[in-house]
Amino acid sequence: MLLLIFLITIFFIAPHLIPNIIKPKAEDQSPRGQIKTDTDSFQNRLSKNKLFDHSYDVQKKVQPAKLYPFNPNTISTDEWKAFGVRVKTAETIKKYLQKGGRFNKPEDLRKIWGLSDELVNQLMPYVIIPPSVHEVRKESFNSKSVKAKQIDINVASQEEWESFRGIGSGLAGRIIKFRDRLGGFTSIDQVGQTFGLPDSTFQQIKSQLHIGVTPVRLLNINQHSAEDLGKHPYIGYKTARTILQFRQQHGNYHSVQELKKIESLTTEDFHRMEPYLTIE
């Protein structure tokens, strides 16, 4: 019973005695009498550690040099550092661009880890980003589309034809080649006769086409040879030889209408080739 009473007494008294028995370790005193905290000690040890010097990109605030307009997609690593960007962050930007990254607007600087908001706010007013090649082409495409709403089909360039949706360089070249072989278009519907041009595409652009005052190239049926006449898409060599034989048999034509006397020449064929023929 006495032993039990003793143990119970110790149990209640011990919590009050232990703090007095275990005294705190005396703190180091600074030269000025201030207590040196563990944080101060850590910072001192950190500053003496060679692994954390400037070459390893210590959080050291650099005063930016004089700022000037720049393109973040093209400036060098040294220029980034001159703007106050840390070495490691400048290398990160370099790798980002080498892997195909791109700054499309000044606000994209905020995406770079390591750039402080303060520095970004300083740099953003000086950022100048020219449009990319894709954007230039897109803008050019839109611009051409507006201009091409009423293009003259007899003088339109390759680029103007390509400005239409669904017409690439191949189709544009075929349209121009067909136009040159004809000697010029006499109607908008002739564009739809271009080999390989889908009718759906032609119908979409038809309302944007018109014919100017440029005259078509005429063929003189009293002077041109069968070979010259035969090169025309609407005549062909077989019909050209027939036209020439009729001229040799009956003399020069007095009018283009005399071609109707050729029995093998259909009315449809005559009306197709008539705008391109002359006797003068």
Is the pLDDT reported for residue 86 higher than 80?
yes
Average pLDDT, stretch 141-146?
50
Last residue in a domain, options 72, 100, 126: 126
Last residue in a domain, options 184, 210, 236: 210
Pair 242, 194 in one domain: no
- How far apart CA 193 and CA 91 sit, in angstroms, is 58
Query: The domain containing residue 138 runs over which residues?
Result: 133-210
Q: What is the dihedral of CA 54, 58, 62, 64, to 10 degrees?
A: 100
Residue 101 belongs to some domain of the structure? yes
* 3-state DSSP assignment of residue 13: helix
Pair 76, 145 in one domain: no
Residue 58 belongs to some domain of the structure? no
* Radius of gyration of the chain measured on its C-alpha atoms: 44
Instruction: Give the residue, 122 or 43, on which the prediction is more confident.
Output: 122
Pair 101, 155 in one domain: no
Is the pLDDT reported for residue 36 higher than 70?
no
pTM for the full predicted model = 0.47
Pair 145, 174 in one domain: yes
Q: What is the CATH number of the domain that holds 235?
A: 1.10.150.280
- How far apart CA 158 and CA 239 sit, in angstroms, is 32
Mean pLDDT rounded to a whole number for the chain: 80
Last residue in a domain, options 193, 210, 227: 210
Indicate the pLDDT class of residue 131, thresholds 50, 70 and 90. Answer: confident
* pLDDT for the residue numbered 47: 45
* pLDDT for the residue numbered 30: 45
Task: List Cβ neighbours of 188 (8 Å cut-off, separation of 6 or more).
Answer: 153, 206, 209, 210, 211
Number of domains in the chain: 3
pLDDT tens digits, 97-120: 888 888 888 888 888 888 888 888
Residue 135 DSSP symbol: H
Instruction: Give me the numbers of helices (H) and strands (E) for the chain, helices first please.
Output: 12, 4
Residue 220's beta-bridge partner residues?
278
Q: What is the CATH number of the domain that holds 141?
A: 1.10.150.320
Is the pLDDT reported for residue 95 higher than 70?
yes
pLDDT > 70 in the chain, percent: 75
- How far apart CA 59 and CA 127 sit, in angstroms, is 25
- How far apart CA 162 and CA 173 sit, in angstroms, is 9
Residue 155 belongs to some domain of the structure? yes
Average pLDDT, stretch 37-46?
47
Indicate the pLDDT class of residue 148, thresholds 50, 70 and 90. Answer: very low
Residue 81 belongs to some domain of the structure? yes
- How far apart CA 227 and CA 238 sit, in angstroms, is 10
Pair 188, 231 in one domain: no
Pair 180, 165 in one domain: yes
Residue 26 belongs to some domain of the structure? no
* pLDDT for the residue numbered 253: 94
Q: What is the CATH number of the domain that holds 83?
A: 1.10.150
Average pLDDT, stretch 145-162?
80
Pair 247, 190 in one domain: no
* pLDDT for the residue numbered 251: 93
- How far apart CA 217 and CA 110 sit, in angstroms, is 62
- How far apart CA 107 and CA 110 sit, in angstroms, is 6
Indicate the pLDDT class of residue 223, thresholds 50, 70 and 90. Answer: very high
What type of residue is 118? E
Pair 120, 145 in one domain: no
Residue 278's beta-bridge partner residues?
220
Count how many residues are written for the chain: 280
Is the pLDDT reported for residue 41 higher than 80?
no
Is the pLDDT reported for residue 268 higher than 70?
yes
Pair 200, 249 in one domain: no
